[in-house]
Amino acid sequence: MAFRKTALEMARTAVYSLHKSSTREHIQKKAAEWKIKIDIIAKLQYNLRASYKIHKRKSVDIEVDLTQFSF
């Protein structure tokens, strides 16, 4: 969340980001605390590939939200 907070401090109109859908409530809570408007622009499936040898599957689909934070 620190990265998003810094982006919002630097932005003039809006910040867009991707978040795991499972974290939506936390993201919305933080936006309310920061008095920032939040809109879920799209709900998407993202194919996340294995990045370490310890990963058992080659890839996994995760649900993500394309989010717009605005003032």
Q: What are the C-alpha distances in Å from 22 to residues 15, 19, 26, 39?
A: 20, 8, 9, 16
Q: Could you tell me whether strands 59-70 and 37-49 are parallel, antiparallel, or unpaired per DSSP bridges?
A: antiparallel
pLDDT greater than 90 at residue 1: no
Report DSSP state, residue 56: S
pLDDT computed for residue 64 by the predictor: 97
User: How big is the CA angle at 68 (ends 50 and 3), to the nearest 5 degrees?
Assistant: 60
Question: Which range among 1-10, 26-35, 42-51 shows the weakest confidence by mean pLDDT?
Answer: 1-10
Count of domains for the chain = 1
Average pLDDT over residues 47-56: 92
Q: Grade residue 66 by pLDDT with cuts at 50, 70 and 90.
A: very high
Residues 15-33 pLDDT 10s: 999 999 999 999 999 999 9
Full domain range(s) for residue 31 = 1-70
DSSP bridge partners of 1: none
